[in-house]
Chains A and B, each alone.
Chain A
Amino acid sequence: MNDTLVEIRGLTVDFPQGNRLIRALHGIDLTVQAGEAVGLVGESGSGKSVTWLAALGLLPGKAVIGGSAMLGAQQLINAPRKQLDAVRGRRVAMIFQDPSSSLNPVIRVGKQITEALKLHRGLTGGAAEAEARRLLDRVGIANAARRLSDYPHELSGGMNQRVMIAMALAGEPELLIADEPTTALDATVQAQILKLLQDLRRDSGMSMVLISHDLGVVAENVDRVCVMYAGRLVEEAPSDTVFDRPRHPYTRGLLAALPALDGPRRRLAAIPGSVPEPWNLPKGCAFAPRCSEAEESCHRQAPPQLSVAAGERVLCFHGRYHSEPVHDETPVSVPHVAVSGHAVAVIAR
């Protein structure tokens, strides 16, 4: 199946600052197919969360939103609240980074889930409670019946995120937006939650947008990856392609900056400088000042969006040329490769 579920076109967001508008999103085009998992990666301030908050009308009222976001035949941008309420939590659900601040600390988790069930599916009383129990069970919480009467502080961070996922599932959504869902969790618990999200998707056929700064998390869990930088989508490709043959210098830089878990240790290739502030964007390509491949033209004019292959887009003058694997194996020059015996001898005392 290849049905388009969400189609975002030319989405822009401006925030007023003093008496001028600061552009945070510079025209995002993005589609999500039914049943598909799309990853959105980028550093803080790149606009990956703002894209979806804008599409769902969750930004503060002063934000100026332009462009279009269609859910099926329904326009979401600047839609009346009543229409959005029929979408949010029902057709599209969202989970966030910090579950303990998204849950109400003084209400038992069972009540919070049944509230969602009442709102989205009209379930009340025993039916709602039975469904809440089923949902908790579905998200892997043992003793679901007993846990319904717990308060969020009585549960661990991982369990609270499971509760958030149960609430998100209450409306039987077609699309789940998971915004850094595991960033606040420990590694072993993160692996459990990501596995749970995959299982849920497999069983329900729901689409997912996974927003994360962690390239590893995205690489292992999505079909298609969109890389964002300074409010623009700079590269989009199937996840196999983007990690093996990244085209945009920023994507290549991010991958080279990541330490590996195996193989020889090499000096990390850091991207120099830092992300520009939205009110102080460079002329031309926003990445040019940090780009090792920038030419004079990159500083003068904004790069075009190139469609380089089926399903592959890149926002770079030079994006067409890079299709070679980038894993270099330069040996390390840092002191710690030399493994000397003395430290080990001390430990073994």
Chain B
Amino acid sequence: MTKPLLEARNLSRHFTVRQKGGPGLEGLIGRKATLRAVDGITLTVMPGRTLGLVGESGCGKSTTGRLLLGLMAPTTGEVRFDGEALAKPDTAAWRKQRQQMQMVYQDPLGALDRRLTVGQQIAEPLDIHHPGMTAAERQARVAEQMAAVGLQTHHAERYPHELSGGQRQRVVLARALILQPQLLVCDEPISALDVSIQAQVVNLLLDLQEQRGLAYVFISHDLKVVRQISHEVAVMYLGRIVEYGEAESLFRDPQHPYTQALLAAIPTVARHGAAKPTPIQGDPPDPANPPSGCAFRTRCPQATALCAGTAPLLRNLADGRQVACHFVDAGADRAAA
């Protein structure tokens, strides 16, 4: 069996924040509270495959992305890349590992340096990781990556502001790809782009995966795009995974009430004219002050006293899916065992 490329086990990241309230000095500066941005998640990415990470703002999906790349130290748990634990930041071993895993952000203009030409920026990772490379070879590598993402040679002399949004995201991709990584963590890579351009970038990501066997962690709030691009999907709510499984079946037959609500909330062209499901009520709770038991119970139509008392654990269903809900078909447990 193929070995996993990326494994995260029981990964958590907690922050100390100050919250309103308390007497005396605390009334002014707030009292200390722990914000569990990511709270014990376990996931696996296989080589050449895509894991979609979805959820609403504040669910911890971006923090998870940073933890997976070692851009942020976890409070507990560990990440293994290609069988090895992530090396300590700024060591030689870390730089070696980081060549294999790159990040793509939402806002390409913010991720690019306005004062450098596109060609210089795409070449920059080579300057850092392969300082001995000849200028001719460097140029050849840049040209190769630019062609791979659909940019033309003359774009190399341009500055970021001279390109369109879609072209800028292609530049960011070329820069991420130039070290021939095995894994890209893409954090909302197409959210800032127009609809017609989004499709271009989604197709490009799929083509690159097919050609190079790249693995992706694709972080997005757009479920339609996640379905299009992912093999597996993990749905997060308030720092935890509530449902995790193969994309096609998860979208066809969501089990967790939150996944169901999230899917029902997506406006689609296909549903025009038809009756719309009633949206769930309320906002996601404050992560620094989560409800007891199941975090979703305050908005869940099925919640009972059990949900307030005990947080449900992720359990395996017969189809290999994992769901954290007291009310999801308990019989499936036995079937899976």
Contacts and interface: CB of A to CB of B under 8 A. Distances in A.
Tell me whether A and B are bound partners.
yes
Interface of A: 43-44, 156, 158-159, 186-192, 194-195, 213-217, 219-221, 239-240, 243, 253-255, 257-262, 265, 267-272, 274-275, 290, 334-336, 339, 341-348
Given A219-B271, A243-B269, A347 B44 contact: yes
A221 B48 CA distance: 40
B313 interface: no
Contacts of B167: 274
A187 B203 contact: no
Contacts, number: 182
A344 B278 CA distance: 32
Nearest to A240: B273
A290 B269 CA distance: 23
A213 B195 CA distance: 8
Contacts of B56: 186-189
B73 interface: no
B78 interface: no
Nearest to A140: B281
Given A188-B56, A213-B195, A345-B320, A336 B267 contact: no
A251 to B, nearest CB: 11
25 contacts: A191-B265, A191-B276, A216-B268, A219-B269, A220-B268, A220-B276, A221-B267, A240-B272, A240-B273, A260-B268, A261-B251, A261-B268, A262-B251, A267-B203, A268-B203, A268-B228, A270-B196, A272-B200, A274-B164, A275-B164, A275-B196, A335-B206, A345-B320, A347-B232, A347-B244
A268 B281 CA distance: 33
Most buried by B among A44, A158, A348: A348
Given A186-B284, A261-B251, A334 B196 contact: no
A135 B57 CA distance: 27
A341 B223 CA distance: 23
Q: Which 6 A-B pairs have the closest CB atoms?
A: A344-B320, A216-B267, A191-B279, A270-B199, A219-B272, A257-B199
Given A335-B210, A342-B1, A346-B4, A257 B198 contact: yes
Contacts of A347: 43-44, 232, 244-245, 320-322
Interface string B197-232: 111101100100110000000000101110111111
Given A216-B268, A261-B224, A344-B245, A271 B196 contact: yes
B268 A192 contact: no
Contacts of A271: 196, 199-200
B248 to A, nearest CB: 6
A345 B1 CA distance: 10
A260 B224 contact: yes
Interface string B239-271: 000001111100110000000011111111111
B322 A348 contact: yes
A272 B167 CA distance: 12
B64 interface: no
B266 A216 contact: yes
Contact of B263 (A261, A335, A343): A261
Given A187-B266, A240-B272, A261-B251, A274 B231 contact: no
Contacts of B232: 343-344, 347
B228 A259 contact: yes
Given A192-B279, A345-B1, 16 more contacts: A43-B194, A186-B56, A187-B221, A188-B56, A188-B262, A216-B267, A219-B267, A243-B269, A257-B199, A261-B224, A268-B228, A335-B48, A344-B246, A346-B44, A347-B245, A348-B336
B269 A187 contact: no
A268 B279 CA distance: 29
Nearest to B226: A259
Contacts of B271: 216, 219-220
Nearest to B54: A187
B283 A189 contact: yes
A220 B267 contact: yes
A216 B197 contact: no
